Structure 1
Amino acid sequence: MASSIVATPAHTLSPPAALSSTKLGAASPSLFLALSSPHSSFPSLTLTCCRNPCFLVSIKQPICRAVAGAAAAEVEDDEEEEEEEVDDGYAKSGSAFTPPTKPKTGKAALPTKRDRMRSKRFLEIQKLRDKTKEYDVVSAIMVMKQMTGTKFVESAEAHFRLKLDPKYADQQLRATVNLPKGTGQTVRVAVLAQGEKLDEAQSAGADVYGADDLIEKIKEGFMEFDKLIASPEMMPKVAGLGRILGPRGLMPNPKAGTVTSDITQAVNEFKKGKVEYRVDKTGIVHVLFGKCNFPDEDLVENFMTIVRSVETNKPKGAKGVYWRSAYICSTMSPSIRLNVKRMLEFKPLTTV
């Protein structure tokens, strides 16, 4: 009798049945065929013998699971082989596939986001200075002048980071300094005064002057001046202009030298190059010290005058190291870091 596969889900033997039956011993193992029974509550393999077709034996569940696991493993191997196929010369590994990107060129290849936003001119001129080097005053000014190249004359700026917190009253810094060589800028001065003070303002060369009439013009939006000087008796009336002048930094203040009885001297000083500086909320002082077309000696003299003024007006609440860092730059060029110790020890201009 030929071998055959028999599925008998209704008469499948229970799991405890064993293959060690004496009746199976007489038959050759090659005469037994297996078939899983999907309809049975307990999956099993059913064996039938050609000598006794009516004799059925059920194999235990673990063996059935092993056979099913082997079949599943073969399916998984086939799927992995399909995933590793080559498509357009690139191997796919898993479900996530990232195509290769083209190498970046131009500004996109620059390492920092800040440089990628700079102009080509800026990227070229910043190669003239060494970011890691701290320059002395003379060398820094020479490098700064080399980096200028715009269509207008750029201003020279100084930026000092100080160990100050202006939210404390004893750590506020606000003062004025007269630059010996001037600022190179045309300053429009307005004067608020009465009586003889108006005649003094006119004689001193004030661009705009007046009393109540000028206050009304400012309220209407007149702002054609860079400095506003007021006499002490006019301050009660000027208080109403705080919302207009305050945000622009034009409000008269005794610390800034813009509230004074000597109108003639105040006008002359601001016309010749008197500048005001103050520490901002981050502890930094920003101040102009001339134009980049000034001779090097004039820029050095103006700069050191500002440094000495900042040192002289050191607030009482400043503790520890007062100077943290110092930089100079032109209006449209990168900053140049100064050596603070050499800057403070700089000797006069006869050695320049």
Structure 2
Amino acid sequence: MAKHGKTYLEAAKLIEADKFYEPLEAIELVKKSARAKFDETVEVAVRLGVDPRKQDQAVRGVVVLPHGTGKTKRVLVFAKGEKAKEAEAAGADFVGDQDVINKIQQGWFDFDVCVATPDMMSEVGKLGRILGGKGLMPNPKAGTVTFDVAKAVQEIKAGKIEYRLDKAGQIHAPIGKVSFDAEKLAENFKALVDALNRAKPAAAKGVYLKNIAVSSTQGPSARINVTGQR
């Protein structure tokens, strides 16, 4: 069993371990119990009633949080010609084609998200092992392989996040920072849960949203009443 320090144990006293809270109340408690010296990320963990081993029950998608995540992501776009100009105009931090591919092969990774136009994927695919290992490979399901590079960049900058089912059947996603107003975090939480409900696989049977908890990076978690989120 993990051992926690005095600060964590004091913060944990604010939250009843066996109680299920409504989202806003849970978020307010998480904000109060955050004791780190930095602006902690508020994270949501959802256990889904699906079998992660079965492809037809995979849950993966994206959602634009209405109030962003509190972190500005550095966006790299693989594009040529007019599409490269569109990406630059939309606010992409880095834009290029073979020149950028060469830099990455030499160990450059000063970016958080990659977007690519479909015609660039034959070249970008050569970086599969490098980008894939870091979770940075552009993917159509995540909306990062597209000719509409301007929209992709704008959404990422506005707070688009990707969620993906892990091997334990859980989704982990950030919904903002402790410094956010509780109401804004609650609206981001609702946007995420609504997206998960829309992404429910047809093959999923029984209870879909099994457990939901919210916590800060270094703080205790508060369990949420799942009934009202379905």
Please name the residue that 1:221 is paired with. 107
Q: Per-residue deviation at 1:322?
A: 0.8
| Residue equivalent to 1:268 | 154
Give the whole-Å Cα distance in 2 for the aligned partners of 1:164 and 1:238: 32
Q: AA paired with 2:145?
A: V
Tell me the secondary structure at the aligned position of residue 128 of structure 1: coil
- Partner Cα separation in structure 1 for residue 112 and residue 229 of structure 2: 31
Please tell me whether the aligned partners of residues 137 and 343 of structure 1 are also in contact (alpha carbons under 8 angstroms).
no
Partners of 1:240 and 1:316 lie apart in 2 by 34
Indicate which of 171, 190, 195 corresponds to 1:309.
195
Partner of 2:215: 329
Residue identity opposite 2:109 in structure 1: M
| Equivalent residues of 1:136, 1:343 under 8 A apart | no
Where do residues 42-191 of structure 1 align in structure 2 (5 Å cutoff)? 113-114=1-2, 117-191=3-77
Identity across matched positions, percent = 47
Query: Which of 156, 159, 165 is 1:279 aligned to?
Result: 165
The residue type paired with residue 235 of structure 1 is: M
Return the offset for 1:342: 2.5
Query: How far apart in 2 are the matches of 1:204 and 1:178?
Result: 17
The equivalent position to 2:129 in structure 1, one of 239, 243, 257, is 243
CA distance in structure 2 between the partners assigned to 1:137 and 1:151 by the alignment: 25
Task: Specify which of 208, 215, 233 is matched with residue 94 of structure 2.
Answer: 208
1:343, distance to aligned residue in structure 2 (A)? 3.2
- Unpaired runs of 5+ residues, structure 1, are 1-112, 345-352
TM-score, normalized by length of structure 1?
Answer: 0.64
Q: Structure 1 residue 133: deviation in Å?
A: 0.7
Using the alignment, how far apart are the partners of 1:343 and 1:313 within structure 2?
14
What is the alpha-carbon distance in structure 1 between the residues aligned to residue 220 and residue 48 of structure 2?
A: 20
- Shift, 1:195, TM fit: 1.1
Look up the match of 1:192: 78
Deviations 1:190-223 (A, max 9, x none): 0001111111111111111100010111111111
Q: CA RMSD in A?
A: 0.9
Q: What is the rounded CA distance, in whole Å, between the counterparts of 1:254 and 1:303 in structure 2?
A: 24
Q: 1:310 is aligned with what amino acid? A: L
Please tell me the residue identity of whatever aligns with 1:249.
Answer: G
Matching of residue 343 in structure 1 with residue 229 in structure 2: yes
Residue from 236, 252, 257 that aligns with 2:138:
252
Following the alignment from structure 2 to structure 1, what is the Cα–Cα distance between the partners of residues 148 and 209? Answer: 34
The AA in structure 2 aligned to 1:339 is: N
The aligned counterpart of 1:320 is: 206
State the shift of 1:166 in Å.
Answer: 2.3
Q: Distance in 2 between matches of 1:157 and 1:285?
A: 10
- Runs ≥4 in structure 1, deviation > 6 angstroms? none
Q: Which amino acid aligns with 1:176?
A: V
* Bigger RCO of structures 1 and 2 (CA < 8 A, at least 6 apart): 2
Query: What TM-score comes out, normalization by structure 2 length?
Result: 0.98
Larger gyration radius, structure 1 or structure 2: 1
Q: Which amino acid aligns with 2:43?
A: E
Where structure 2 has 5 or more consecutive residues not aligned to the other structure, the ranges are none
Whichever structure has more strand as a proportion of its residues is 2
Alignment partners' CA distance in 2, 1:131 and 1:163: 22
| In structure 2, distance between residues paired with 1:317 and 1:242 | 30
